[in-house]
């Protein structure tokens, strides 16, 4: 009981409303058993409970809701993200409107600086970056574009994460900003990674120093965990935390399973382990009000063991005499955070995907279950699309 009480406090903070967190499943039978209380699981639980009046049991092996987006006050009372910085951005009006039912927003445009040659310069590379790093005076987009074109190395077919960058900015900038960071983050060279990874970062010839270009950029006003508490706060939803699916799968009867954990684990690693990259997070409180000028500073230097430092007060707008930081140390061991996009991993995933497609009564959704390097909004989009498919199936069943 003490453990569950702690879970409740940790999961929902001091919010007036809370999802019904239970120590063991209340019912023998549920319409849906949902594995994982992250964006994929919470979105589907909310839709199925509210739109289909379905009885839903959500289990998560962690002692909290919100998956990797989980945030909590640290020992100083500063809101931090337990699993590294999560910044919400989307171009989709539908996804933004959907989540807006469960949270108010704090407008926030993310800015990142990179520590390169003892200077802090904007990343994505823009005109300011070029002028600061190379002592230039490029004044127009055209001048910056001409400068980049003079350095870029043409690549016939862009296949890898090295090709993307070299063909846009040339080798020197690639080595300064991307090679070291990527080798640390992924444990492999950019030439061994799919182009999609570094293609996440654009190159700009203007002075726009925002990390994302999306139409909607905002942080949940009371944090992600509070937003998830509102999503899951429905009489049809039971929530069991600190519970591994494999410990209850035989005890709970459910018409349908929605699984958002790692797909290879679901099938007991039948075809071997799918590689996921992990991180170790070091959280620190400093006795100073501000540590760095922006929320995130990246460290591409291979001699620095971490990839980036996040200072949360920039994200949340919280005022406090102290400040809290997270250092990210990439690691092969630990929780699976990132699918590793490269052809052989994709081929192995395809074998698991075929198995998943041939498993009746189970739907696989989310970043780990579909082995896709998805942002939060993309996972919500995938979950809403999954709901629409379940909805159509239900309508045709009711009609027949």
Residue ranges binding ligand UDP (CB under 6 A): 114, 123, 177-178, 181-182, 185, 197-198, 200-201, 298, 300
Nearest CB to ligand UDP, comparing residues 98 and 299: 299
* Stretch 378-397 residues interacting with ligand FAD (CB under 6 A): 379
Binder of residue 300, out of ligand UDP, ligand FAD, none (CB less than 5 to 8 A by kind): ligand UDP
Nearest CB to ligand UDP, comparing residues 33 and 201: 201
Binder of residue 181, out of ligand UDP, ligand FAD, none (CB less than 5 to 8 A by kind): ligand UDP
3-state secondary structure at position 340 = coil
Residues 6+ apart with CB under 8 A from 140: none
Please give the full DSSP string across 223-280, using - where no structure is assigned: -HHHHHHHHH--TTEEEE-S--HHHHTTT-EEEEEEE-S-HHHHTTTTT-PPPEEEEE
Nearest CB to ligand UDP, comparing residues 101 and 191: 191
CA dihedral defined by 346, 348, 354, 355, rounded to 10 degrees? -140
3-state secondary structure at position 116 = strand
67 binds ligand FAD (CB under 6 A): yes
Quickly list H helices, the chain. Answer: 2-12, 39-52, 93-100, 127-134, 141-151, 161-169, 171-173, 180-186, 195-198, 224-232, 245-248, 263-266, 313-316, 343-357, 376-399
Q: Which of 84, 124, 330, 339 binds ligand FAD (CB under 6 A)?
A: 84
CB 128 within 8 A of CB 210: no
Nearest CB to ligand FAD, comparing residues 85 and 180: 85
Tell the smallest beta-carbon distance from residue 33 to ligand FAD (Å): 10
Site string for ligand FAD, 29-48 (x = CB under 6 A): ------xxxxxxx-------
Binder of residue 200, out of ligand UDP, ligand FAD, none (CB less than 5 to 8 A by kind): ligand UDP
Tell the smallest beta-carbon distance from residue 139 to ligand UDP (Å): 25
Q: Which of 47, 55, 62, 184 binds ligand FAD (CB under 6 A)?
A: 62
Q: Which of 44, 138, 376, 390 binds ligand FAD (CB under 6 A)?
A: 376
Tell the smallest beta-carbon distance from residue 68 to ligand UDP (Å): 11
Q: Rounded to an integer, what distance in angstroms lies between the CA atom of residue 281 and that of residue 334?
A: 11
Nearest to 284 by CA among 309, 303, 306: 309
Site string for ligand FAD, 257-296 (x = CB under 6 A): ---xx-----------------x-----------------
- The piece of 11-19, 122-130, 150-158, 366-374 that touches ligand FAD (CB under 6 A) is 366-374
Nearest to 280 by CA among 305, 255, 262, 252: 305
Nearest CB to ligand UDP, comparing residues 220 and 300: 300
- The piece of 66-74, 173-181, 297-305, 315-323 that touches ligand FAD (CB under 6 A) is 66-74
Nearest CB to ligand UDP, comparing residues 203 and 359: 203
- Strand 237-240's sheet: what is its strand order? 20-21, 237-240, 56-59, 29-35, 253-259, 362-364
Max Cα–Cα distance, the chain, nearest Å: 72
Q: Rounded to an integer, what distance in angstroms lies between the CA atom of residue 135 and that of residue 124?
A: 18
CB 247 within 8 A of CB 60: no
Nearest to 123 by CA among 55, 201, 29: 201
- The piece of 101-109, 230-238, 300-308, 373-381 that touches ligand FAD (CB under 6 A) is 373-381
Q: Which of 19, 49, 57, 68 binds ligand FAD (CB under 6 A)?
A: 68
- Strand 338-339's sheet: what is its strand order? 119-123, 112-116, 296-298, 308-311, 323-331, 276-286, 338-339
Chain contacts with ligand FAD (rule: CB under 6 A) = 35-41, 59-62, 67-69, 83-87, 244-246, 260-261, 279, 337, 366-368, 374-377, 379
């Amino acid at each position: 009981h003490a453990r569950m009480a702690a879970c409740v406090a940790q999961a929902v903070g001091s919010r007036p409303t809370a999802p019904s967190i239970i120590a063991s499943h209340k019912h023998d039978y549920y319409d849906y058993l949902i594995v994982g209380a992250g964006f994929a699981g919470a979105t589907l639980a909310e839709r199925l409970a509210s739109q289909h009046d379905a009885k839903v049991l959500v289990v998560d092996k962690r002692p909290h809701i919100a998956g990797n987006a989980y945030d909590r006050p640290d020992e100083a009372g500063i809101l931090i993200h337990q699993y590294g910085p999560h910044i919400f951005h989307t171009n989709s009006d539908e996804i933004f409107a959907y989540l807006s039912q469960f949270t108010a927003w704090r407008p926030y445009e993310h800015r990142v600086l990179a520590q390169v040659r003892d200077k802090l310069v904007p990343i994505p590379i823009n005109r300011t970056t070029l002028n600061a790093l190379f002592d230039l005076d490029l004044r127009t987009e055209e001048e910056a574009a001409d400068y980049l074109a003079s350095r870029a190395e043409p690549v016939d077919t862009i296949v890898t994460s090295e090709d993307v960058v070299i063909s846009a900015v040339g080798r020197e900038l690639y080595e300064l900003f991307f090679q070291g960071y990527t080798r640390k983050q992924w444990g492999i060279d950019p030439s061994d990674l799919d182009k999609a990874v570094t293609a996440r970062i654009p190159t700009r010839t203007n002075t726009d120093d925002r990390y994302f270009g999306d139409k909607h950029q905002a942080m949940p006003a009371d944090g992600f965990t509070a937003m998830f508490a509102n999503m899951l706060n429905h009489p049809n939803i039971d929530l069991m935390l600190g519970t591994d699916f494999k410990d209850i799968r035989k005890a709970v009867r459910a018409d349908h399973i929605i699984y958002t954990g790692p797909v290879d684990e679901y099938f007991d690693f039948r075809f071997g382990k799918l590689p996921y990259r992990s991180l170790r997070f070091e959280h620190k409180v400093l006795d100073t009000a501000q540590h760095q000028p922006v929320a995130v500073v990246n460290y591409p230097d291979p001699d620095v063991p971490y990839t980036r430092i996040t200072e949360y007060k920039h994200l949340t707008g919280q005022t406090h005499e102290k400040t809290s930081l997270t250092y990210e140390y990439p690691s092969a061991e630990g929780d699976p955070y990132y699918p590793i996009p490269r052809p052989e991993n994709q081929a192995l995933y395809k074998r698991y995907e075929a198995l998943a497609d041939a498993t009746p009564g189970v739907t696989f959704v989310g970043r780990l279950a579909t082995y896709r390097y998805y942002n939060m909004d993309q996972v919500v989009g995938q979950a809403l699309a999954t709901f629409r498919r379940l909805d159509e199936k239900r309508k045709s069943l009711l009609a027949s």
